[in-house]
Structure 1
Amino acid sequence: MPIRLENVGIAVRDIESAVGFFTDLGLTVLGRDTVSGEWADTAVGLDGNHVKIALLQTPDGHGRLELFEYIHPEAIENGPTRPNQIGMHPVAFSVDDIEQALKVAARHGCHPLRGVATYQDAYKLTYVRGPSGIIVMLAEQLKG
């Protein structure tokens, strides 16, 4: 059976803030909507499901994020996800210039968890705490 990854969904506290962050990094909004109804309740497995959604795509056309902000039921807040916490993270992006990407992230109040590291002279990379506490990995492949 063929399978392919369609998108990664992320619940966010403020969809406008999250869309602003990811579009400034270079993603494009493919569409926006507000969804609810019996079909949404069934698909998600949550009664009264009512959300704002935005679908974004990376410039190469291969990666997609679906951001959603719950209108109902109320979103559940947790503490900031730690890198070693069980669950899905980070959302990882290749960038041409990590310093430029970090400047963009900083404009949104998003900064590295510790700093920028070099992995085997192949990549410069860092984890950034993005909007709604999302851990975002930025990686620049080094020439050579």
Structure 2
Amino acid sequence: MEKSKLLQMHNVGIVVESLDKTIDFFSEIGLKLEGRAMVEGEWAGRVTGLGNQSVEIAMMVTPDGHSRLELSRFLSPATVADHRTAPVNSLGYLRLMFTVDNIDELVARLSKHGAELVGEVVQYEDMYRLCYIRGTEGLLIGLAEQLGNKTATDILENS
């Protein structure tokens, strides 16, 4: 039997309270709403291990079409934990990072959606300007503005 090979990363999932607010927030970053649907029933619960469930989902996609973010709002069973405001050094979900072309302009727009800087916008050498923000629902989001031609991948490959 041939060993299975990875084809692509399909999506990252985040459970939220308000799909509408979260869709608006990620749309402001530049993701597009690909679709919205209800996922419910015993079959879905067999996948998640939650039994009979009812979940409203929204799939968002990056402009290049390669990465997706699945937003889920559980109607039943109720959510049982809340990790949204955990600090960056907590175990588990950390943050999503997006590359943007004008970090200052985007941070200003996102602040109108309630986003707040966690620290400050900083410059890393001559390669990036970076920041973390707490977005809608307290989600931790990283933003990176590339300044030169050298990328984080270049740094990792040469270390």
Q: TM-score, normalised by structure 1?
A: 0.94
> How big is the shift at 1:61?
1.1
Match of 1:94 in 2: 99
**2:142 pairs with 132, 137, 141, which one?**
137
Structure 1 Cα separation of the partners of residues 44 and 17 of structure 2: 20
Structure 1 Cα separation of the partners of residues 136 and 51 of structure 2: 26
Match of 1:2 in 2: 5
Structure 1 Cα separation of the partners of residues 120 and 9 of structure 2: 30
Match of 1:127 in 2: 132
**1:76 pairs with 77, 80, 94, which one?**
80
Q: Which runs of 4+ in 1 moved over 2 A?
A: 76-79
Structure 1 Cα separation of the partners of residues 51 and 87 of structure 2: 30
Q: Deviations over 1:52-89 (max 9, x none)?
A: 10000011111110000111111234261210000122
**2:20 pairs with 11, 16, 23, which one?**
16
> How big is the shift at 1:38?
1.2
Count of residues paired in the alignment: 144
Structure 2 Cα separation of the partners of residues 117 and 33 of structure 1: 39
Structure 2 Cα separation of the partners of residues 28 and 106 of structure 1: 19
CA RMSD of superposed structures (Å): 1.3
Q: Deviations over 1:12-58 (max 9, x none)?
A: 11111100000111110111001111111001110232111000001
1:13–1:75 contact (8 Å) kept in structure 2? no
Report percent identity of matched pairs. 37
Structure 1 unaligned residues grouped into runs of 5+: none
1:81–1:133 contact (8 Å) kept in structure 2? no
Q: Deviations over 1:95-142 (max 9, x none)?
A: 000011102210110011011011122100101111222110000001
Structure 2 unaligned residues grouped into runs of 5+: 150-159
Look at both structures and tell me which one has the larger radius of gyration over its CA atoms: 2
Structure 2 Cα separation of the partners of residues 75 and 15 of structure 1: 14
Structure 2 Cα separation of the partners of residues 17 and 74 of structure 1: 19
Structure 2 Cα separation of the partners of residues 96 and 21 of structure 1: 17
1:12–1:131 contact (8 Å) kept in structure 2? no
Q: Which structure is higher in RCO with an 8 Å CA cutoff and minimum separation 6?
A: 1
Match of 2:153 in 1: none
